[in-house]
């Protein structure tokens, strides 16, 4: 290997003769036209904002993938529909919160909420005027158990559902468990 490297000339006369260089243009030759930013001309142009149809499809998907219905197996049909309606009314905010917190600690390329991020959410809620975690209603350790219960035995086992992380439908489920 050493002999091959020593005998090989990388820059030789034919290489130098075939090399073509074009000088860099001077700053005076360049004309910069700065247009004001426009959404339609940006890389975000194909983005479709969420509408009621998309939110409803996402909610139905999350509802069917979650274990909320089995959690409420003792509830009658009317109560289950009322709970579903309440969750649907809060779904947009819940989904936006998941998108934000799921981007903080994703698992690879999958947006997900891990235990640390979830505990951070709960502790941030304690700094607000109304406390979620207190010693009389629910403790931090109980919320952690609900996180584990939500994550255990999920219906969807695939690479898009990482272990010890909550994906979107589980995020809705864990808040339902905490509410119960």
Give residue-wise pLDDT tens across range 65-107. 999 988 888 888 888 999 999 999 999 999 999 999 998 877 7
Does residue 72 lie in a domain region?
yes
**Inter-residue contact 113 to 102 (CB < 8 Å):** yes
Same domain flag for 24 and 56: no
d(CA 37, CA 39): 7
Question: Residue 13 belongs to what domain range?
Answer: 2-28+32-39
Same domain flag for 75 and 120: yes
* Intra-chain end-to-end CA distance of the chain, in Å: 71
Same domain flag for 68 and 144: yes
Same domain flag for 118 and 150: yes
Q: What is the pLDDT of residues 27-55, one digit of tens each?
A: 666 666 778 889 888 999 998 888 999 99
Report pTM: 0.70
Same domain flag for 88 and 163: yes
């Amino acid at each position: 290997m050493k002999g091959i490297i020593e005998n090989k000339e990388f820059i030789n006369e034919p290489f130098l003769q075939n090399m073509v260089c074009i000088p860099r243009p001077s700053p005076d030759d360049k004309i910069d036209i700065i247009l004001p930013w426009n959404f339609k001309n940006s890389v975000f142009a194909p983005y479709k904002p969420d509408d009621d149809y998309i939110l409803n499809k996402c909610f139905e998907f999350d509802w069917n993938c979650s274990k909320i219905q089995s959690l409420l197996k003792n509830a009658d049909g009317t109560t289950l529909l009322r709970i579903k309606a309440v969750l649907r009314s809060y779904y947009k905010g819940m989904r936006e919160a998941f998108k934000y917190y799921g981007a903080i600690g994703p698992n690879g390329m999958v947006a997900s909420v891990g235990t640390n991020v979830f505990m951070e959410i709960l502790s941030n809620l304690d700094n607000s005027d109304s406390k979620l975690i207190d010693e009389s209603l629910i403790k931090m350790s109980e919320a952690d158990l609900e996180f584990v219960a939500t994550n255990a035995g999920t219906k969807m086992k695939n690479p898009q559902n990482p272990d010890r992380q909550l994906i979107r439908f589980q995020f809705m489920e864990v808040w339902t468990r905490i509410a119960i």
